[in-house]
Amino acid sequence: MSGATEEQCPRVTSLTTAADKFGRPPVDTMLEAKLRPPQTRSEWVSRSRLLQELERATERAITLIAAPAGYGKTTAVAQWLASDSGPPIFAWLSLDNSDNDPGQLWTHIAMALDRAGCVIARDIAGFVASGAHDMFTLVLPRILDAIAGLPSDVTLLIDDFDVVRGAECNRQIEFFVKHLPATAHLVLITRADPTLRLGRIRAAGQLSEIRADDLAFNTQEASALLGADGVQLSSEAVGELMQRTEGWPAGLYLAVLSLAGRADPSEFVHHFSGNNRFIGDYLTEEVLSRQSDEVRSFILDMSILDRFSAPLCDYVTEEHNSASILRDLKHTNLFLIPLDSEERWFRFHHLFGAVARSTLETEQPDRAAQLHGRAADWLSENGYVDAAVEHALTAGKAERAATLANASWLRYFDAGLGSTVRRWLRALERSAAVKRRLG
C-alpha cells in the first residue's frame, strides 16, 4: 500500500479512478485481502469427512456455517475450496464492520463476483452509489441478472457474516436469497445465526447447516494434529484431552503449542480442567508467556487491529522491525493468518487476538489508547477513513474522529454509504454523552 494522502487515494473513489489491462478498477491491498480466500497451510490437519459434508451441502441453495470462535469455520472452507471436491467457480468476500453499510456491502459483493467472471458494471462502486436509494429495483436485480447470465454455476462465500447487523442490510440480503438464481450457491460463514428468516428458508428445503458439532475434531483428527507436531500421548490421554476440549479445534491447537517439548505431556493434560473458554484463556496466556519480550510486546500492540501490514505495524509501534517479526510469527505461530497471497496483510486468530487485546488493556491501558491514536493517524493518511474514525474514538480522540468524519461525510454519502456516516454520527453522539456525564 502506498503512502498516498486521503485526497489522492480515498478508500471509496480509489476503486474507480483507473482501469487495469482487464478493464477492472484497481484495488488497494487491504481490500484485496477481503476478496481473496485464505491460503491453505501445510500444518493444517486434513479433514476429509468435513469436506464431504461441505460438498453435500451445496446440493441446496444456501449453506450456513455457524459456530463460535475457534471452531475452524474459515479453515475448513479454505481446505474445501483447495480440494478436488470444491466448487470450480467461486467468489470470496471477508466482511468487516464497514460492510454493515448497504452501499459498502453490495460494492464488495459485486467486486467478489466480478472475480468469478460475473461482470456487473465496469465502475462497480459508482454503479452501486448511483442506485443506493433504489437497491431493490436497480442494484440487486442487476447483480442477480448478472449471476443468472453466467454459463456455469457459481458459489458466493461470505465470511464473518455476523458483522451484518443493520436492518436494511438484512432486508436486502433476504431479497437476494429469495431471488437467487438456480445456478448460484450462497455460503454464509458466521459466529452467530444471522437475523435472516432462516425458518422460511429451512422449510423451503433450501438450507444446509454446518454447526459446531460438525466442525469439532474427532479423536482421529485430534491424534493427527498432535502427531504432526511430535506430541506423543497415550490413547487415554488423547481421550481425556478430547473430553476436556469437547473437540474444540482452537483448544486443541492451543494444547499442541502448550504440550510441545514437555517431558510428561500426559500429566499436563490430566491437570488442567474447565470449560472451553477457560481452557482457551489459560493456554493462550501460556503461549504468550513463552514468547520473548519483544515478540510478546508486538503481539499485544497489534491485537488492537483487525488487520495489519508491516508499514502499519511500524507506524503504530514506532519501531522498524515489524516485517521481520511477522515473518518469524508466520513460521512459528499458528495464530497469524495471512490475508492475501503476497502476505502483506495479516490478522490474528480471533480468539488469540481477543485474549491478547484483553491482556494489553489490563496491563497497559494508557498504551492501548496511544496505539489506537497512532493507528487512526496511519489509516486516515492512507485513505481508510472508516477504520480511522473507529480507532480515533477508541483512543478517546473524539475531536480527531469528528474532523475525519466532517472531511469525508459528503464523499461517503455521495458514494451511497449513508449508513456509515450515520454510524459515525451515533458514535460521536455517544462519545459526547459520555464526556458530559464524566464532566
Q: Position 320: which residue type?
A: H
- Confidence (pLDDT) at 252: 86
> What CA dihedral angle connects 352, 353, 357 and 363, to 10 degrees?
40
> In whole angstroms, what is the distance from residue 217 CA to residue 294 CA?
34
- Confidence (pLDDT) at 26: 47
- Pairing status of strand 154-159 against strand 184-190: parallel
- Confidence (pLDDT) at 3: 36
- Confidence (pLDDT) at 433: 57
- Whole-angstrom CA distances from 28 to 5, 20, 222, 223 are 13, 13, 39, 41
Q: Position 71: which residue type?
A: Y
* Contact (Cβ atoms closer than 8 angstroms) between residue 378 and residue 317: no
In tens digits, what is the pLDDT along the chain, a chain of 439 residues?
333 333 333 333 223 323 333 344 445 678 888 999 988 887 788 899 999 999 999 889 999 999 988 889 999 999 999 999 999 999 999 999 889 999 999 999 999 999 999 989 888 888 888 877 789 999 999 999 999 999 999 999 999 999 998 899 999 999 999 999 999 999 999 988 888 888 989 998 999 999 998 999 999 999 998 888 788 888 998 998 888 788 888 888 878 877 777 778 788 787 655 544 556 776 677 778 878 899 999 999 999 999 999 999 999 999 999 999 999 888 665 578 888 888 899 998 877 888 889 889 889 989 999 999 999 999 999 999 999 999 999 999 999 999 999 999 998 888 888 899 999 999 898 877 555 555 5
* Contact (Cβ atoms closer than 8 angstroms) between residue 54 and residue 76: yes
- Confidence (pLDDT) at 7: 32
**Concatenated DSSP letters for 118-187?**
----SSHHHHHHHTTT-IIIIIHHHHHHHHHTSSS-EEEEEESGGG---HHHHHHHHHHHHT--TTEEEE
- Confidence (pLDDT) at 143: 95
